[in-house]
A and B are shown apart, each in its own frame.
Chain A
Amino acid sequence: MKKLITGMLLIMITTLWCYPQEAGISLNYTDTELISIFERIEKETGYFFLFNEKLINTAQKVTINAKDKIISNLLDELFKNTNIKYSIINNKIILSPDYLEFNKVVTVSGIASDEYGNPLPGVNIHIEGTKLGTISNDRGRYSLNISNPDAVLVFSFIGYKQMKIPVEGRTSVNISMEPSVSNLKEVIVVGYGSIKKSDLTGSVATVSEDIYLNQPVARVDDILQGRAGGVNVINVSGAPGGTTSIRIRGANSITGSNEPLYVIDGFVGGNMEDVNPTDVETIQILKDASSTAIYGSRGANGVVLITTKRGIIGKPGFSVTGRYYVSNPLKLWPLLNAGEFAQVCNERADVLGYARPFTNEQVSYYIANGGTDWQKEIFRTAGGQELQMDYSGGSDAVTFFVSGNFLDQKGIIINSDFKRYSLRTNLDAKISERLECVLKVNFARRETNNTSGDYTTSGVVAGATAWAPTTPAYDENGIPTLADPISSIKINPIELAMNDNINESNTFNTIGNIIFRIMSGLTLDLGFGMNYNNTQAKTFVQSLMPKNPTASRSSSESIFLQNTNMLTYSKTINNIHKFALTAAAEFQLQRNDYYMAAAADLLFPILKYNNITLAKTYSLSNDFTKSTIGSYIGRVNYSLHDRYLITLSVRTDRSSKFRGKNQTSVFPSVGLGWRISEESFMQDLPLISNLKLRASWGQTGSQAVNVYGTVTSYNTSAILAGTSWQNGTLTSGINIGNPGNENLKWETTSQTNIGFDLGLLKDRFTLEADYFLKNTTDLLLSEPLPGYVGGGNIYRNVGAVRNSGFEFNLNARIMERNNFSWNMNFNMSVLHNEVTDLGYYPYILTSGGAGAGMLTNPEMILKPGYCISSYYGFKSLGIWQVADAELAAKYGNQPGDYRYEDVNGDYAITGSDFQIIGSGMPKKVLGLNSTLRYKNFTLNAFFQSMLDYGKWNFAYAQIMIAAANAREFTHRDILNRWSPDNPTSRVAAFSKTNVPRIQSSEYIESGNYLRLKNLSLQYALPRNILKWGDLTAMISAQNLLTFTKYKWIDPETYSNLGSGDQRGGDGGSYPGAKTWTFGVTLNF
C-alpha cells in the first residue's frame, strides 16, 4: 500500500506542468546574487536558464530595478554590467560568457592554470573594485580589456584560492592557481544528493584528488588510508591486491562485517576494488548518523561514497601515465644460522634426555658451510608496472570520460601477483533542457595468485621461519625437500608458495540515470544499475609428500540489480528560508550462483587445474543465494538565514533475510548546525573566517546475518556430512547444521555526534573536530554451542557494543608564495570500544583462526567492559627465578621455566587461569600529510601511525616454544635464554619441567608504529620546453621507514582476515613491502 501511495504521489507531482508566460515582469534587487534572480525569473515566467556553471559566475552580485518589462528587456538590464550574453530559444534562456568587449583601452591576456600547469577553464577574473571581468576559456586562456594599467586582477575559481595580481602595465598575466584546502562553497556529495559544505550538519570527510595527486595510488584504499579522521585503513595483507580492512569509527558488530558500505556513483553496495583510483573524482566518507541514516539498514559501519569523473565541456584532454614499481621486503627475521641451530638442538636434547640430533661432525660442517636461508628462498625483489590512459571532453550536449588502466604488480613472496585491467566510460548527455541522461560503464578484471592464501602458522612465511636451516631447500633432484626431519612438521614453504590459488574476477558495472527537471527546483531522477561479477577460481596443490596432487576449478556469478527513483525539490523563500526535499524509493536484488569441482590424485599434475578430468577422485559443490531489499527514503534540509541548519531524514528498509515483522525497520536521523561566523556579532572578528557547530543523532542498522540465518538447515557438504562406508569412496550424507533462529532482526546503532568546524585567517587554518558516541544494540552474536548438544553456533540478538571517540582534522596552508608553498594535513582519531552487554552470558569465547590449529582454545573473548578484540589466555609472569624455586616446585616447575599467573590459586595452570591479556584494536590512529612545492618541484610526505593495541605474534611464539608446528627453536632469541647468570631473559631455559604456553601474554606485543607511508618527489617540466604537452615525472617510496618495536616484519598486517573484529593475530602474515615507484605522466 505504501508503495502505491508513493507511486501516485510521483504521478501527481509530474502532472504539475508549467509553461512560459509573456506578461511583464517586475524585479527589484540590490546587490543580489544572480542565481537568486534567475530563480525568481524562472518561477515567475516559466522561462528557465541554461548555462554552464563553470563559465557563468552566478554568484556575482547585481543591482536591478525593472518594472513590467518583457523578458528580453529585463535580461538586457540584468546583464548590462556583466560579461554575460544571452539568447532566448522557446522558453530557454541560454547564457554564455562575452569575451569581447571593445570599448576598453588595453587588452591583458594570459593563461590560467592549476597548480600542475594544466589549463584551467572557467576561472573568474575581474578587476578589483569593479564588476568588470571575464572567465577563462576551455584552454585556460582569458583576455580582458582594462582602462587602468595599475588595475589589480582578481582570479577566483571554486576549489582554489582567490589570487590578486597587479597588472603593472603588462599585457600578459599568467596565473597558476593554488588549491584551497577548504572551501565552503564546495559542493559535496551526500547520500541521494549533494549539498554545499557550508550547509552540512553531519560529519562528512572529503578526499579529493588534490590530496593524493603527488602519490602513486594503485588502489582506492590507498587513497583512503590516513586521509581523514575516524577512518582507519589497515593493509591487513601486504600482498599486492591483498585484503584491506577499513573501519569508520570503530567496530559495532561482532558477527557481521564492520566494513563500510560503498556507494559508487549511487550504486549501493559496489565493490571498491573494482574502481580504478584514477577514475575517482572525489570520495566522501559519511560518519555520523545524520549522514548515514539515509542508508538505513546498511549504514551502521559508515558509508564511503565514490564519485567517478565526468567529462568537462570544451576541454578535450588526453593523458598517459606509466609507472614502474620495485618492491622489497621491509626486513627479514633474525634467525639462527645452521651451525648455531645444530648446536642449540643438541644442547636441548642433552637437557631433555633424548639422543642428540646432530653429530659433532655435522655441527662442524654446518658451522663451516652454513645451511639454508629459508627467508631468501621465499622472498624476492618484485617488479611491477602500470599504464593509465584517459581521454575526456565534450560539447554542450554530451560530455565523456574514458579511462583505461593496466596494473601488474608482483608480490615479494614468490609466485604471488596481482593484475588489474579496467576500462571505464562515463557519458553525460543533455537530451533537452529538461532531460539529462547519465551512463557510467565500468569493466574491471582482477587476477590474483596467492595474495589471499593461508598466511597463518601453517603458511609460507611462518614455514620459512620454522624450517630448520640445516635442512636443504631442495633434494638432489631439484624437488623441494618433502619433510623437515628436525624442526617443522609442516610442508616445505617453497612447495607451499609454488601452489596456485588463482582468482580471476570480472566485474561489469553499469549505472544509468534519467534526470528529468519537471519544473524549477523539482527533479526526478530514475536510476537503474547492475553489477555483474563472474569470478573464476583455480587452485593447484602439489602435495608432494603423500603424492596426492589436487586441483580445483570454481565459478561464481553474482548479479546485483538496483532501481532508485528519486524526487528532489529545492526552494528558497525570500532568500531566508531554503528548503531541499528528497524522496526516493529503492529496490535491490542480489543473486549468487556458485559451483566448484575439485579433483584429487591428479594423474598428470603438470596439467594443474587445466584438466581435472584426469584424476582418481572428485568432489563437487554448489551454492545459490538470493536476497532482496526494498526501501523508502525521505529527507528535508532546511536553512534559515544561511545560519541555522536542520536536516531530517528517514529510511525504511524491508529485507528478505528476516521473518515477519522483523523484516521491516525504520531508521530516522536529525542533524542541526549553527554557522556562528555568519552572525553579525562575529563580523568584527576577522581572525575567524568560519565557525560552525554541528550536532546530530540518528539510527542505522546492520544486516550482519547471512541469508538463511533464520532457518535450521542440514549440512550437505562432503567435509561435514559425507562419509565413507568403504575405504576410498564417498557416500553423500546430511546432518544437522547450526540451529536457525527465526526471531533474528537487525542490529541497530544509535549515534550521537557533536562537532565544530573552525576556519582561521580566511580558512588558511581549518579544524574539524568531532565527538561521537555509538551504541549498537540487539547485537547479533554467533554463540558457540557446547559439543554435547551437537556443537556449532547459533545466531542471536544479544548484547550491546559502544564505540566512542574523538576525531580531529587540521589543515594548514602554512606557506603560500608564488614559487613556494607548504600545506599540511593532520588527522587523528581516538577510539574507545567496549562490549557493554552480552545478555545472559557472562562472556563468550570465540576463535579468530590465526593460530592455525596450534591453539586448543578460542583465543578471543567477548566480555562486558572490554573491547570486542580482547585476547584470552594465560598471563605470563616471565621466568621463575632462583629465589622462587620453592614456589615453582608447587607448580612442577623449576627456575628457568615459564611462569604464569595462577588466577584461582590452586597451584596448577589450567583453563581456569585464562584471563583477558590484551586487545587487538588500535585506540589511536594518526595521519600526517605534508606537501611542499617549490617552482616545478613537489615533495610529499605522508606518515601514518597506529597506537595502543596488541598484536598476538603467533609466528614468533611458534618458533620460540618449539612445541607445535616447529619442533626446534630457530629464532636468535634462544641464544639469550634464561640461566642463573642471565636472570633477566624473557626466554625460558631448556628444561624437562618447562611448559610453554602459546596462548599467553608472553607473545602479545605492542603493535605501535609510526610509518613513513609515502615520500614522493614530482617534477613538472616547464611548459615552454615541450610545446605539444605537459610532462610530469615522479619518484616515490612507500613504507620507506617504520618505527616499531614489534618483532615480526610488519606491525600492520595480520593473519586472521575474517570480516569480524576478533582478530589481530599474526601467524606469519604477508608482510608489506618497501616499494619504489617511478612514474611519468603526459598530458596532451
Chain B
Amino acid sequence: MKKILFLLILIFIGTSCSDFYEEDLSRLITSDSGALSDVTGLTAALAGAYKPMAQVWAQGLGNASTAAILMGSDDLTTHKASNKADFREFDQFVVNNTNQRLPFVWKGAYKSIQQCNNIIAAIPNATGVQATLNQIEGEALFLRAYNYFWIVRLWGKAPLVLNSHIFDEALLSISSSSITDIYAQIITDLQKAETLVANKKPAPGRICLGTVKAVLAEVYLQMTGYPVNDATKYALAAAKAKEVIDNQATYGLGLMDDFASLWVSATVNNDGNKEEVFALNFQGQMSGGSANAWAGIAAIPGDRGGWDDYMCELRFFYDFPAGYRKDVTFEVGYDKNGVWIPFTQYQTKRPYYKKLQGNKLTFVNAISMPLERMAETYLNFAEAKIMATGNPSDPDALEAFNKIKRRGAGLPLNTPNPAVDATSLTQKEIITEKGWEFAGEFCRWFDLVRLQLVQETVDKKDPDELQPKGPIKYFLPLPNVETDVNPNLLD
C-alpha cells in the first residue's frame, strides 16, 4: 500500500517537470521566429501589406467610404435622407471627427504602412533571389509612398512613422509632420522603388516599374498646386509621365481601345487589363474580408434594390458632353417591366454610375478597383507638359490629350480626327476632360483642391443639390479615435 502511495506521489511530482510551465508557442509566427528572412516569408508579408488597403468593412479603400471621402467634388453626391448622414457630411463640408466613413482610408493606409516598414527593415538580412527581393522591397516602398499620398492629400499634416513595425510607447505622443516632409518621404520612397521594381507586374493586383513612375508623376503634379504650390515640379511630372508612356509596352501597360471595355458588366469583363496601372484586386468573399464593395450595389439606385451610396450631381452630368463615354458612364434610367423609368423619376432624381455597377447586385465583388489608369498618366502628361513649357499647343501634350478625347467619343484613339481633336489647351480644360474621363473615380476632388477650384464648383451646384452647410474645407479632420489617444497630433 505504501509503495502504491509513494508511486502516486512520484507521479504527480513527475508531471511537474521543468518545462511544465513553458508556454507552447508552436502555433505562432512571432517576431523572433525569423519569418521574414526569406522570399516565402517576405512574399506573405507583402500580401499582408496589401490586405489593409482592401479589407472591405474594416479598413482601406474597398467600400463606398472611398466615394464618400471625395464627395466634396461635383461628380459625387448621395441620397438626401436614407442612411447616408455620414456621406452627406462630406458633400456638405461639415465632416465630424466621429464620422463613420472617415477612418477607413486612414486606418488602411497606416496598417499597410506598418507592414511596409516591417518589410523594408527585414530586407537587408533576408536571403533569396536578388531580383525577387528587389521587387518585394520596391513594392513595399511604393505602397508606403502611395498610402502616404492618400493621407497627405486628404488630411494634410499627419504623423509620419517609418518604424511602426516595432511597438514603441513614444509613438503615442508624437506630433503630426508637415505636408512638405511627408511629400519629401513619398518622393524618396518612390525614387528608391524605381531602382528596384521589375518592368512587368508579377500579378494583376501588384505593381510594375510603370506603376511607380506613373504615381511619381502624379505626386509631382499634385505638388505643383495647393498647398505645396511648387511650379518647378511640372517639368518633373511631365518627364516622369513621358517615361511611362514611352515604355508602356515594356511595362505591360497601355490604353484600351474601347472605353466600355474598361468596365465589368454583364457582357464585358477585361479585368486585369493593361490600362490598370495600379488596381486593388479582391477575393470576392466576405469570409476572407476581401471584396470590392465600392463597385456594385453601392452604385445602384434604391429603386432597383441598390444602396444609393453615391451618384452624380446634376450640374456635372448636364455639363458632361453627350456621346459614347457618357452613355457608358451613366445609368440614366431603367426598364421596369417594359416601362422606361428615367432617373428623374428615381427617388434621388440623379443619374448613377453604370460603369461602376459591376455584373450583379452585390457588395461581394471580385472585380478590380482601378486606383490609377493609364489614361490618367496621359492626361497628367498633357497638363504637366503644357504648364512646364508654357506652350498651349505642345504637340506631344495635344496628342496625349486627344487620344483620350477620341476614345471618349467612341473613335479610334490613335487616328487624328479634326472633329474632336483639340489644337490648344488650357490647364482647366485638361482638368475638365479628366473629370469626365474619371467621373466617380479618384481624380476630380484632388484636381479641384490642387487648383483651388472647389468654391467655384460648389457655387455652380444645382439648387436641388445638397448644399454646403459650412465653409468649404480642403482637408479632413483627424478621426477622433486617433486624437483621443494622442492629442499632440492636433498641434
Chain A residues proximal to chain B, CB less than 8 Å: 3-4, 7, 10-11, 14-15, 348-349, 352-355, 357, 482-483, 485-486, 489, 514, 516, 524, 526, 545-548, 550, 563, 565, 585, 587, 589, 598, 600, 617, 619, 623-628, 630, 654-657, 659, 663, 707-708, 710-716, 718-736, 739-740, 784-791, 794, 845, 853, 855-858, 892, 909-912, 914, 962-967, 992, 995-996, 999
Task: Determine whether the beta carbon of B480 is less than 8 Å from that of A911.
Answer: yes
Interface mask (B1-41 → A, CB under 8 Å = 1, otherwise 0): 01001101111110110001111111111110001000001
B residues 25-65 with Cβ under 8 Å of A? 25-31, 35, 41, 44-52, 54-55, 57, 59
Given contacts A3-B13, A722-B290, A963-B83, contact A790 B481 (CB under 8 A): no
Task: Determine whether the beta carbon of A14 is less than 8 Å from that of B51.
Answer: no
Name the residue of chain A whose CB is nearest to the CB of B81.
Answer: A352
Residue from A550, A659, A727, A735 whose CB has the most chain B CB atoms within 10 Å:
A727
Complex alpha-carbon distance, A912 and B97, angstroms = 9
B residues 355-389 with Cβ under 8 Å of A? 360-364, 366-368
Can you show 11 pairs from A to B with CB atoms below 8 A apart? A565-B9, A600-B287, A630-B21, A728-B284, A733-B45, A734-B41, A734-B45, A786-B485, A857-B480, A911-B98, A967-B83
B346: interface (CB < 8 Å): yes
Task: Determine whether the beta carbon of A855 is less than 8 Å from that of B100.
Answer: yes
Smallest CB–CB gap between A361 and chain B, Å? 16
Residues of A within 8 A of B24 (CB): 624-626, 656
B115: interface (CB < 8 Å): yes
Complex alpha-carbon distance, A486 and B81, angstroms = 12
**Which of B100, B106, B489 contacts A856, CB < 8 Å?**
B100
Task: Determine whether the beta carbon of A789 is less than 8 Å from that of B110.
Answer: yes
Complex alpha-carbon distance, A663 and B21, angstroms = 8
Residues of B within 8 A of A617 (CB): 283, 285
Task: Determine whether the beta carbon of B349 is less than 8 Å from that of A355.
Answer: yes
B86: interface (CB < 8 Å): yes
Task: Determine whether the beta carbon of A654 is less than 8 Å from that of B272.
Answer: no
Residues of A within 8 A of B202 (CB): 725
Enumerate the 8 nearest inter-chain pairs by beta-carbon distance, A residue then B residue, closest first. A733-B47, A735-B48, A546-B362, A856-B100, A739-B167, A725-B203, A911-B480, A719-B289
**Which of B28, B80, B83, B480 contacts A965, CB < 8 Å?**
B83
Given contacts A711-B25, A790-B164, contact A727 B281 (CB under 8 A): yes
Q: Interface size of B by Cβ–Cβ distance < 8 Å?
A: 112
Smallest CB–CB gap between A993 and chain B, Å? 9
Task: Determine whether the beta carbon of A355 is less than 8 Å from that of B29.
Answer: no
Name the residue of chain A whose CB is nearest to the CB of B284.
Answer: A728
Given contacts A354-B347, A733-B44, contact A10 B485 (CB under 8 A): no
Name the residue of chain A whose CB is nearest to the CB of B109.
Answer: A787
Smallest CB–CB gap between B29 and chain A, Å? 4
Known contacts A355-B349, A731-B47; 14 further A-B pairs (Cβ under 8 A): A7-B9, A628-B21, A656-B24, A716-B29, A723-B48, A724-B54, A736-B48, A788-B159, A791-B107, A856-B100, A910-B96, A962-B81, A963-B85, A964-B83
Residues of B within 8 A of A526 (CB): 8
Given contacts A482-B305, A723-B51, contact A355 B346 (CB under 8 A): yes
Task: Determine whether the beta carbon of B50 is less than 8 Å from that of A733.
Answer: yes
Task: Determine whether the beta carbon of B15 is less than 8 Å from that of A587.
Answer: yes
B328: interface (CB < 8 Å): no
Task: Determine whether the beta carbon of A724 is less than 8 Å from that of B290.
Answer: yes
Complex alpha-carbon distance, A342 and B79, angstroms = 19
B227: interface (CB < 8 Å): no
Task: Determine whether the beta carbon of A485 is less than 8 Å from that of B303.
Answer: yes
Smallest CB–CB gap between B270 and chain A, Å? 11
Name the residue of chain A whose CB is nearest to the CB of B350.
Answer: A354
**Which of A482, A707, A721 contacts B47, CB < 8 Å?**
A721
Complex alpha-carbon distance, A489 and B51, angstroms = 27
Residues of B within 8 A of A723 (CB): 47-48, 50-51, 54, 205, 281, 283, 290
Smallest CB–CB gap between B246 and chain A, Å? 27
**Which of B99, B165, B348, B368 contacts A736, CB < 8 Å?**
B165
Name the residue of chain A whose CB is nearest to the CB of B163.
Answer: A789
Complex alpha-carbon distance, A911 and B103, angstroms = 14
Task: Determine whether the beta carbon of B82 is less than 8 Å from that of A963.
Answer: yes
B486: interface (CB < 8 Å): yes
Complex alpha-carbon distance, A857 and B482, angstroms = 11
Name the residue of chain A whose CB is nearest to the CB of B47.
Answer: A733
Residues of B within 8 A of A598 (CB): 287
**Which of B25, B111, B281, B346 contacts A726, CB < 8 Å?**
B281
Task: Determine whether the beta carbon of A857 is less than 8 Å from that of B12.
Answer: no
Residues of B within 8 A of A714 (CB): 28-30, 35, 48
Residues of B within 8 A of A486 (CB): 302
Task: Determine whether the beta carbon of A489 is less than 8 Å from that of B204.
Answer: no
**Which of A485, A550, A740, A965 contacts B302, CB < 8 Å?**
A485
Given contacts A4-B13, A712-B167, contact A788 B204 (CB under 8 A): no
B464: interface (CB < 8 Å): yes
**Which of A911, A965, A996 contacts B97, CB < 8 Å?**
A911
B474: interface (CB < 8 Å): no
B211: interface (CB < 8 Å): no
B267: interface (CB < 8 Å): no
Task: Determine whether the beta carbon of A736 is less than 8 Å from that of B360.
Answer: no
Prevailing SS type, chain A contact patch = loop
Smallest CB–CB gap between A216 and chain B, Å? 41
Complex alpha-carbon distance, A516 and B9, angstroms = 13
Complex alpha-carbon distance, A723 and B143, angstroms = 14
Residues of B within 8 A of A550 (CB): 287
B192: interface (CB < 8 Å): no
Residues of A within 8 A of B15 (CB): 563, 587
Complex alpha-carbon distance, A482 and B306, angstroms = 11
Task: Determine whether the beta carbon of B205 is less than 8 Å from that of A724.
Answer: yes
Complex alpha-carbon distance, A787 and B171, angstroms = 11
B118: interface (CB < 8 Å): yes
Complex alpha-carbon distance, A355 and B345, angstroms = 7
Residues of A within 8 A of B182 (CB): none
Residue from B80, B81, B206 whose CB has the most chain A CB atoms within 10 Å:
B81
Residues of B within 8 A of A966 (CB): 83
B471: interface (CB < 8 Å): no
Task: Determine whether the beta carbon of B27 is less than 8 Å from that of A625.
Answer: yes
Residues of A within 8 A of B283 (CB): 617, 718, 722-724, 727-730
Residues of B within 8 A of A585 (CB): 12
Name the residue of chain B whose CB is nearest to the CB of A967.
Answer: B82
Smallest CB–CB gap between B266 and chain A, Å? 14
Task: Determine whether the beta carbon of B31 is less than 8 Å from that of A712.
Answer: yes
Task: Determine whether the beta carbon of A787 is less than 8 Å from that of B290.
Answer: no
Task: Determine whether the beta carbon of A732 is less than 8 Å from that of B482.
Answer: no
**Which of A726, A845, A853, A857 contacts B272, CB < 8 Å?**
A726
Smallest CB–CB gap between A587 and chain B, Å? 6
Complex alpha-carbon distance, A84 and B315, angstroms = 107
Residues of A within 8 A of B363 (CB): 546
B479: interface (CB < 8 Å): yes
Residues of B within 8 A of A655 (CB): 21
Given contacts A563-B15, A735-B111, A788-B159, contact A352 B80 (CB under 8 A): yes
Task: Determine whether the beta carbon of A713 is less than 8 Å from that of B305.
Answer: no
**Which of B80, B205, B288 contacts A619, CB < 8 Å?**
B288
Task: Determine whether the beta carbon of B83 is less than 8 Å from that of A727.
Answer: no
Residues of A within 8 A of B322 (CB): none
Residues of B within 8 A of A627 (CB): 23
Smallest CB–CB gap between A10 and chain B, Å? 5
Complex alpha-carbon distance, A349 and B345, angstroms = 13
B268: interface (CB < 8 Å): no
Residues of A within 8 A of B447 (CB): none
Smallest CB–CB gap between A1066 and chain B, Å? 20
Complex alpha-carbon distance, A18 and B270, angstroms = 93
Task: Determine whether the beta carbon of A483 is less than 8 Å from that of B54.
Answer: no
Residues of A within 8 A of B164 (CB): 788-790
Complex alpha-carbon distance, A487 and B5, angstroms = 73
Task: Determine whether the beta carbon of A726 is less than 8 Å from that of B205.
Answer: yes
Residues of A within 8 A of B103 (CB): 787, 856
Smallest CB–CB gap between A589 and chain B, Å? 8
Smallest CB–CB gap between B457 and chain A, Å? 22
